[in-house]
Amino acid sequence: MDSAEQGFLIVYEFEDDDRPLIIEDDGRACFAYVKGPTGNIVTEVWLYNRITAATPANPRTHALEWGEKSFPSSSADFRVSISKSTTKPTVLSVFIRGELFAILRVREKIGRSRLARKDGPPCT
């Protein structure tokens, strides 16, 4: 993937965890997901759309707009952190330009995104 308009793929690997966090922007939408040791996706989250859908797939589910800022264009715009506990699921946080943008918990299939909301306030 050559440019942000065509998309990009960023893989974060952690020294003490065998589950990489992957950020994939295909030029239309961007998702973050964590793959387990066997390659299966264990948790995922939508981050943003680069294009606007003509009609929402589900009119009861809404997404906040990205706003006036430019879209992320490279790994320099992203940072991730991992928090492990012996008593709680591993939590991975995705930051865009220094702002907490999404949270993924390993035992929850769907993560939380700053722009996602469903029938109410944002899920952050």
User: Tokens standing for 21?
Assistant: 């966090």
Residue at 89 is within a domain: yes
Domain that holds residue 51: 8-118
> How many angstroms separate the first and last alpha carbons of the chain?
30
Q: Are 112 and 123 in contact (CB under 8 A)?
A: yes
Residue at 2 is within a domain: no
Q: What does each C-alpha distance from 74 to 19, 52, 77, 94, 112 come to in angstroms?
A: 21, 21, 6, 14, 22
Residue at 113 is within a domain: yes
* pLDDT score, position 119: 45
Domain count, the chain: 1
**Cβ neighbours for 36, distance < 8 A, ≥ 6 positions apart:** 19, 42
Determine the Cα–Cα distance for residues 106 and 31; give it in Å rounded to an integer. 15
What percentage of the chain exceeds 90 in pLDDT?
Answer: 54
76-117 per-position pLDDT tens digit: 999 999 999 889 999 999 999 999 999 999 989 999 998 876
Residue at 22 is within a domain: yes
- pTM value is 0.81
User: Tokens standing for 69?
Assistant: 């800022």
Residue at 123 is within a domain: no
Residue at 76 is within a domain: yes
**Cβ neighbours for 106, distance < 8 A, ≥ 6 positions apart:** 19, 34, 42, 43, 89, 90, 91, 92
Residue at 3 is within a domain: no
Residue at 48 is within a domain: yes
